[in-house]
Amino acid sequence: MAIKIGNLAPNIKLPSTSGSIFDLSVDKKDKPIIIYFYPRDFTSGCTAEACEFRDMFSYFKEIDMEVIGISRDSIETHLKFKTQHQLPFELLADVDGKTAQVYGALIPFVKLTKRVTYLLNKQHRIVGVFEDMFGATKHIDEMIKKIKINGNLL
């Protein structure tokens, strides 16, 4: 089950395609951010979702909104995926699935990451969440709606 709206987002410390360890509380302090969990690089749904975030990236940048993608893939796979699809945002490697589990984005037993997207305000409180395993591109539309509704809370 996804984390509830209003809760403080758990901190994230994971390897990033930037070459460093991403630390939510430090790297994005006082910044609103979209964090999206997805199953695997190079699958059709995940590629469509990442490319939709890419195509809408200028909208997010205009409103000073960061985007981060997280899956259980390795940094090496993420780098290939990011390069091939020209993704302008960082991908984080949650290889052991512990971060996905804390965020309610891990399917037990099969250890597959669910497709869950979170909108965090500047204080990193969750102000929007959308979960739909099969509606990959719906996540972007839902986040834009939630940004418009919560604009003053971001």
Catalytically active residues, by annotation: 46
Residue count (the chain): 154
CA distances from 42 to 38, 49, 123, 125, 145 (A): 11, 11, 33, 31, 27
Q: Which of 46, 49, 9, 38 is nearest to 113 (CA)?
A: 38
How many other C-beta atoms can be found within 10 angstroms of the C-beta atom of residue 8? 11
